[in-house]
């Protein structure tokens, strides 16, 4: 338990304050997109309200990509994974903790930022609730996907750019169900978003650990 | 006499397609030391990583350690943006051990300096601090003298002697001379892969494959 807390504390410290804006940058990015969108589309209230939810989802997805190159690669370069392996701390455990830390660093902050962002794109009360539930269901999956792709692309030259691209492609199901729940207003979309998230959360520790083990050799 | 601290049998190691060495048997008593010598590229680091369980060997083999292991190579595994003392504190918390003796390593003045500002020699000392802090039984050191001055070299030799006096085994890969009284010296060039072709002295993978079916590296259990 104490090993878990020690690892989590380090991950959170690194993600929240570790250079380049830390956890603030994804939030600012998310808000900036929400602010720019009305400028680009024009002051058409019904159109904004109809499409704004989807834009928020795309913004959340892109914001989750920003810390991608800080998730796994620095630790691989520093030899941290070797030291953890020597102490019997499995890569699976480290990756699972990292998913949790990554989610904490952008999931809840984005859910908070979604409130002003919804106002900017003209989304009102009921729909805002759907956006929030959708983000709650979808951001854990985005976090898992980010850590998984970061594990796979760590150590590759240009891995960050490739990683961002991969996350965008693999996040399509999350986006379809998450943003889809807005247009249908139904709980089915939210449930499917959560289901995709759960699958990603279940796969990531093992797939990520396998990738890291092969890169470590 | 003394207890057997470490045994390994029939170690073989592969990098990419090339078998670096094979058929290596090792045995060390408590307090023993092993010095791996030889030019670059002979597999010193790979052997250390196999012994540490960080790299799967090319063929199944038995490696048994009595006690915990600490490993130090060029990467010091300390967070670059953190002050040195804080970066070391992470490992102390993980190992549930007291903070390492910074004074002994000449790092007292650097405790508040971020790790990324340390010089090569200072980084090495910081890595040694992490190594000592782990309080492991046995040490595996990859080029521990790189970047250290004469004083630092003497310090490493003294630390190794202390570890051995306490019953630990120390395996050192170093192409620089290092004082390891009574150490086994092994040159990995003396353990060429089987059925090497020609006068080259390098075994190609295809030769190895004809000798036996491709070995399946065991998945690292407990890693």
Q: Which residues pair with B11 in a beta bridge?
A: B24
In A, minimum Cα distance to B56 occurs at A217
Residue-number span of the structural domain to which A199 is assigned: 2-216
Q: What is the pLDDT of residue A36?
A: 92
B213 DSSP 8-state letter: P
Assigned token pair, B23:
């058929």
Q: How deeply is B177 buried, as exposed, middle or buried, from its count of CB atoms within 10 A (0-12, 13-18, 19+)?
A: exposed
Which one is predicted more confidently, A97 or B197? A97
Q: Strands, DSSP E only, in chain B?
A: 4-15, 18-29, 33-37, 62-65, 69-72, 138-142, 170-173, 184-187
The predicted model gives B206-221 an average pLDDT of: 45
Question: Is residue B47 over pLDDT 60?
Answer: yes
Domain count for chain A, please give it.
Answer: 1
Any chain A CB within 8 A of the CB of B77? yes
Any chain A CB within 8 A of the CB of B223? yes
Q: What is the pLDDT of residue B180?
A: 87
Q: What span, in angstroms and rounded, lies between the C-alpha atoms of B211 and B109?
A: 57
Residue located via tokens 């202390």: B162
Mean pLDDT of chain B: 82
Assigned token pair, A167:
């996350």
Q: What is the pLDDT of residue B131?
A: 92
Measured between alpha carbons, how far is residue B40 from residues A128, A198, B34, B44, B148 in Å? 62, 47, 18, 8, 19
Place A19 in a pLDDT band, splitting at 50, 70 and 90.
low
**Which among B19, B48, B6 is positioned nearest to B205, based on CA atoms?**
B19
* Residue A142 DSSP SS3: helix
Distance between B199 CA and the closest CA of chain A, angstroms: 29
What is the CA angle A101-A103-A108, rounded to 5? 115
Question: Is residue A185 over pLDDT 80?
Answer: no
Place A146 in a pLDDT band, splitting at 50, 70 and 90.
very high
pLDDT digits (tens, 9 = 90+) for B151-165: 999 999 999 999 999
Closest CB to A86 among B55, B70, B76 = B70
Distance between B55 CA and the closest CA of chain A, angstroms: 5
Contact A10 B79 (CB under 8 A): yes
In A, minimum Cα distance to B116 occurs at A78
């Amino acid at each position: 338990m104490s090993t878990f807390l020690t690892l989590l504390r380090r991950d959170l410290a690194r993600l929240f304050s570790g250079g380049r804006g830390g956890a603030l940058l994804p939030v600012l990015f998310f808000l900036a997109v929400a602010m720019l969108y009305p400028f680009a589309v024009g002051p058409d209230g019904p159109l904004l309200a109809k499409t704004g939810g989807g834009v928020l989802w795309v913004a959340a997805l892109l914001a989750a990509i920003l810390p991608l190159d800080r998730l796994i690669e620095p630790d691989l370069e520093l030899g941290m994974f070797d030291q953890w392996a020597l102490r019997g701390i499995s890569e699976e455990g480290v990756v699972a903790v990292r998913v949790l830390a990554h989610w904490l660093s952008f999931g809840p902050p984005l859910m908070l930022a979604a409130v002003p962002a919804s106002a900017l794109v003209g989304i009102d009360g009921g729909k805002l609730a759907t956006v929030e539930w959708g983000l709650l269901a979808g951001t854990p999956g985005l976090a898992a996907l980010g850590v998984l792709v970061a594990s796979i692309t760590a150590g590759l030259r240009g891995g960050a750019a490739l990683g961002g691209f991969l996350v965008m492609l693999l996040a399509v199901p999350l986006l379809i169900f998450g943003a889809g729940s807005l247009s249908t207003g139904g709980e089915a979309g939210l449930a499917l978003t959560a289901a995709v998230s759960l699958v990603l959360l279940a796969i990531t520790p093992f797939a990520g650990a396998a990738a890291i083990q092969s890169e470590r050799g | 006499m003394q207890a057997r601290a470490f045994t390994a049998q029939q170690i073989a190691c592969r990098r990419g397609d090339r078998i670096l060495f094979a058929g290596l048997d090792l045995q060390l008593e408590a307090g023993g030391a092993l010095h791996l010598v030889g030019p670059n590229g002979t597999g010193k680091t790979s052997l250390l990583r196999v012994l540490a369980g960080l790299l799967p060997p090319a063929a199944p083999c038995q490696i048994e350690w009595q006690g915990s292991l600490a490993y130090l190579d060029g990467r010091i595994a300390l967070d670059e943006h953190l002050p040195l003392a804080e970066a070391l504190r992470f490992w102390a918390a993980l190992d549930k051990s007291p903070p390492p003796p910074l004074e002994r390593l000449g790092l007292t003045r650097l405790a508040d300096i971020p790790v990324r500002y340390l010089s090569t020699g200072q980084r090495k000392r910081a890595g040694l601090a992490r190594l000592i802090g782990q309080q492991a039984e046995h040490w595996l050191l990859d080029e521990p003298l790189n970047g250290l001055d004469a004083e630092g070299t003497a310090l490493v030799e003294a630390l190794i002697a202390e570890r051995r006096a306490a019953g630990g085994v120390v395996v050192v890969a170093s192409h620089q001379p290092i004082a390891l009284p009574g150490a086994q010296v092994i040159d990995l060039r003396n353990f060429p892969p089987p059925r090497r072709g020609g006068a080259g002295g390098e075994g190609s993978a295809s030769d190895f494959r004809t000798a036996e079916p491709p070995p399946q590296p065991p998945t690292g259990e407990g890693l």
